[in-house]
Amino acid sequence: EQRNIVLNVNGIEVIYNHVILVLKGVSLQVPEGGIAALLGGNGAGKTTTLRAVSNLLRGERGHVTKGSIELRGERIENLTPSELVQRGVVQVMEGRHCFAHLTIEENLLTGAYTRSSRGEVAANLEKVYNYFPRLKQRRSSQAAYTSGGEQQMCAIGRALMASPSLVLLDEPSMGLAPQIVEEVFEIVKDLNAREKVTFLLAEQNTNMALKYADYGYILESGRIVMDGPASELANNEDVKEFYLGVG
Ligand code: ATP
């Protein structure tokens, strides 16, 4: 079955501080309704790739110096992060970044897109609570006093408040117990199936990512060294040896 390409990253190079070449020609495609995983070890360039797509490199003194990035055929390299949000592209940053002193509900409301009507905001909030019942229970708690899993859910929930069609999810498993990681991924899968949200997720937890993604890209030192359907990668001997810890 042929699906439309939502995100087309074509041979991008990224340089930090005008000298450090971190991405050396990365290409990847994410189809409409897909869950694509960007895999690889520490420092491989996963976060940099997501930041290039959501145009969040500038604050890090990073620049895309070659290649192109297209969203449904439209070049997006020169759009601001907020213009990207308007087009449905939202990034969930690594390390969660909830506002510690705000309640869960206040955090979620910061994600509401400024042009949404009050009715839309209320409907989105209900939808988020529907997917994350834990957040509803904790809606009045200060984020600082909630668990790591709840903060990760809050970060994803906040992204959903902008009614995204493409979510860039950076290391959702980071620092979480395996059972909680599973819970978060189950919700991602649900959002993908029922809300038709497309995901590009960066993960060091190869095992978990390949269980939930439908396609994977393996990044090593700024280059894609392997890609394929998740089930094929999960059964590939090199992937098993180097990334799944089974030799
Ligand atoms: P991690 O899981 O640790 O986040 P990653 O695969 O996401 O790893 P990146 O964060 O994209 O990797 O980093 C890729 C490379 O770019 C690393 O060598 C890192 O040291 C370097 N790098 C990242 N941010 C900057 C920056 N602002 N300035 C200079 N170099 C940077």
Complex-level ipTM: 0.93
pLDDT (0 to 100) of residue 73: 95
Cα separation of 117 and 61, whole Å?
35
Enclosing H/E stretch for 49: helix 46-53
pLDDT (0 to 100) of residue 245: 62
Other C-beta atoms closer than 10 Å to the C-beta of 147 total 13
Residue 64 in tokens: 């895309």
Other C-beta atoms closer than 10 Å to the C-beta of 29 total 16
pLDDT (0 to 100) of residue 126: 96
Q: pTM for this structure?
A: 0.94
pLDDT (0 to 100) of residue 2: 62
Q: Answer positive or negative: Cα dihedral of 111, 116, 122, 125.
A: negative
Task: Tell me which amino acid residue 128 is.
Answer: V
Among left, alpha and beta (phi > 0; psi -120 to 50; other), residue 145 is alpha
Q: What is the DSSP letter of 142?
A: B
Residues in the chain, total = 247
pLDDT (0 to 100) of residue 132: 96
Q: Which atom of ligand 1 is nearest to the CA of 45?
A: 11
Q: Output helix, strand, coil percentages for the chain, rounded to the nearest 5.
A: 40, 30, 30
pLDDT (0 to 100) of residue 247: 36
pLDDT along the chain (247 residues), means of 10: 87 94 97 97 95 91 96 94 94 84 96 84 96 96 94 95 96 91 95 96 95 97 97 92 66
pLDDT (0 to 100) of residue 246: 46
Most informative mutation of 47, 93, 217, 218 for ligand 1 (most atoms within 8 A of CB): 47
Count Cβ neighbours within 10 Å for each residue of 91-111 and write b for 16 or more, e otherwise.
Answer: bbbbebebeeebbbbebbeeb
pLDDT (0 to 100) of residue 59: 83
Ligand 1 pocket by Cβ (under 6 Å): 16-17, 20, 22, 40, 42-48, 60-62, 94, 202, 204
Packing angle of the helix pair 148-160, 118-131 (nearest 10 deg): 140
